[in-house]
A and B are shown apart, each in its own frame.
Chain A
Amino acid sequence: MNPASDLFAPDLFAPEHLMIAPILIPFIAGALMLLYDERQRRAKLGISIGSALALLLVSIELLNRAKGSHLPGDTGIGFYLLGDWAVPFGIVLVLDRLSAMMLMLTALLAVPALIYSAAGWHKQGQHFQSLFQFLLMGLNGAFLTGDLFNLFVFFEVLLAASYGLLLHGSGQLRVRAGLHYIAVNLTASLLFLLGVSLIYGVTGTLNMAQLSLVIPNLPAADRPLLHAAAALMGIAFLIKSGMWPLSFWLSTAYMAGAAPVAAMFAIMTKVGVYVVMRLSLLLFGAGAGASAGFGAEVLIAGGMATVTFGFLGVLASQGVGRMAAHLVLISSGTALAVTGFALMGAGSALLAGALYYLVSSTLATSALFLLIEPMSREEGGIAAMLALTADAYGLDDVEDDGAPEVGFAIPGTLTILGLCFGACLLVLAGLPPLSGFLGKFAMLSAGLDQSSVAAPLIWGFMALLLLSGLATLIGMIRIGIRTFWVTDGAAPKVLALEIAPVIVLIGMILLLTIKAQHSIRYMEDTARALLTPAIYTEGVMSAPRVVDQPKDDTP
Chain B
Amino acid sequence: MEIVLSTAIGILAASGIWLLLRPRTFQVIVGLCLLSYAVNLFIFSMGRLTVGAPPIMAKGGFVNPTAYADPLPQALVLTAIVISFATTALFLVVMIASRGMTGTDHVDGQEREQ
Chain A residues in contact with chain B, CB under 8 A?
149, 152-153, 156, 159-160, 163-164, 167, 170, 172, 175-176, 178-180, 182-183, 186-187, 189-190, 193-194, 196-198, 200-201
B5 within 8 A of A: no
**In the complex, which residues of chain B have a beta carbon less than 8 angstroms from the beta carbon of A149?**
76, 79
Cα A254 to Cα B13 with chains together (Å): 30
Minimal beta-carbon separation of A238 from chain B (angstroms): 19
**In the complex, which residues of chain B have a beta carbon less than 8 angstroms from the beta carbon of A156?**
83, 87
Which of B84, B94, B102 is close to A182, meaning CB atoms less than 8 Å apart?
B94
The answer to whether B25 touches A179, judged by C-beta atoms less than 8 angstroms apart, is yes
B90 within 8 A of A: yes
4 extra interface residue pairs, beta carbon distance < 8 Å, beyond A179-B109, A183-B107: A179-B25, A183-B20, A187-B32, A187-B35
The answer to whether B32 touches A183, judged by C-beta atoms less than 8 angstroms apart, is yes
Q: Which of A156, A187, A190 has the most CB of B within 10 A?
A: A190
**In the complex, which residues of chain B have a beta carbon less than 8 angstroms from the beta carbon of A179?**
25, 91, 94-95, 98, 107, 109
Question: Contact mask B87-114 → A, CB, 8 Å, 1/0?
Answer: 1101100110110011000011100000
The answer to whether B79 touches A180, judged by C-beta atoms less than 8 angstroms apart, is no
**In the complex, which residues of chain A have a beta carbon less than 8 angstroms from the beta carbon of B28?**
183
Question: Within B51-96, which residues are at the interface with A (CB < 8 Å)?
Answer: 72-73, 76, 79-80, 83-84, 86-88, 90-91, 94-95
Q: 23 A–B contact pairs at CB < 8 A?
A: A156-B83, A156-B87, A159-B87, A164-B90, A167-B97, A170-B97, A172-B101, A172-B102, A176-B98, A179-B25, A179-B91, A179-B95, A183-B28, A183-B32, A183-B91, A183-B107, A190-B35, A190-B36, A193-B43, A194-B39, A196-B43, A196-B76, A198-B46
Which of A153, A176, A198 is close to B102, meaning CB atoms less than 8 Å apart?
A176
Cα A486 to Cα B35 with chains together (Å): 52
B42 within 8 A of A: yes
Q: Which residue of chain A has its CB nearest to the CB of B101? A: A172
Q: Which of A159, A182, A197, A200 has the most CB of B within 10 A?
A: A197
Minimal beta-carbon separation of A518 from chain B (angstroms): 41
The answer to whether A178 touches B36, judged by C-beta atoms less than 8 angstroms apart, is no
Query: Interface residues of B, CB < 8 Å — how many?
Result: 32
Question: Within B36-50, which residues are at the interface with A (CB < 8 Å)?
Answer: 36, 39, 42-43, 46-47
Chain B residues in contact with chain A, CB under 8 A?
20, 25, 28, 32, 35-36, 39, 42-43, 46-47, 72-73, 76, 79-80, 83-84, 86-88, 90-91, 94-95, 97-98, 101-102, 107-109
Top 8 A-B residue pairs of the complex, sorted by shortest distance between their CB atoms: A201-B46, A197-B43, A197-B46, A176-B109, A175-B98, A156-B83, A190-B39, A172-B101
Report if A186-B94 is in contact (Cβ < 8 Å); known contacts: A172-B102, A197-B76, A200-B76: no
**In the complex, which residues of chain A have a beta carbon less than 8 angstroms from the beta carbon of B95?**
179
The answer to whether A160 touches B90, judged by C-beta atoms less than 8 angstroms apart, is yes
**In the complex, which residues of chain B have a beta carbon less than 8 angstroms from the beta carbon of A186?**
32, 84, 87-88, 91
**In the complex, which residues of chain B have a beta carbon less than 8 angstroms from the beta carbon of A153?**
79, 83
Cα A200 to Cα B95 with chains together (Å): 34
**In the complex, which residues of chain A have a beta carbon less than 8 angstroms from the beta carbon of B84?**
186, 189-190
The answer to whether A172 touches B109, judged by C-beta atoms less than 8 angstroms apart, is yes
Cα A217 to Cα B65 with chains together (Å): 22
Which of B32, B80, B94 is close to A163, meaning CB atoms less than 8 Å apart?
B94
Q: Which residue of chain B has its CB nearest to the CB of A205? A: B72
Q: Which of B47, B72, B88 has the most CB of A within 10 A?
A: B72
The answer to whether A189 touches B43, judged by C-beta atoms less than 8 angstroms apart, is no
Cα A170 to Cα B101 with chains together (Å): 10
The answer to whether B109 touches A193, judged by C-beta atoms less than 8 angstroms apart, is no
Cα A176 to Cα B46 with chains together (Å): 37
Report if A163-B101 is in contact (Cβ < 8 Å); known contacts: A190-B36, A197-B46, A198-B46: no
The answer to whether B98 touches A160, judged by C-beta atoms less than 8 angstroms apart, is no
The answer to whether B32 touches A194, judged by C-beta atoms less than 8 angstroms apart, is no
The answer to whether A182 touches B91, judged by C-beta atoms less than 8 angstroms apart, is yes
Q: Which residue of chain B has its CB nearest to the CB of A163? A: B90
Cα A172 to Cα B94 with chains together (Å): 11
The answer to whether A180 touches B32, judged by C-beta atoms less than 8 angstroms apart, is no
Minimal beta-carbon separation of B79 from chain A (angstroms): 7
Cα A348 to Cα B84 with chains together (Å): 39
Q: Which residue of chain A has its CB nearest to the CB of B75? A: A149
Q: Which of B20, B25, B94, B95 has the most CB of A within 10 A?
A: B94
Which of B43, B76, B87, B108 is close to A160, meaning CB atoms less than 8 Å apart?
B87
The answer to whether A180 touches B72, judged by C-beta atoms less than 8 angstroms apart, is no
**In the complex, which residues of chain B have a beta carbon less than 8 angstroms from the beta carbon of A196?**
43, 76
Minimal beta-carbon separation of A184 from chain B (angstroms): 10
Cα A194 to Cα B16 with chains together (Å): 15
Cα A457 to Cα B73 with chains together (Å): 42
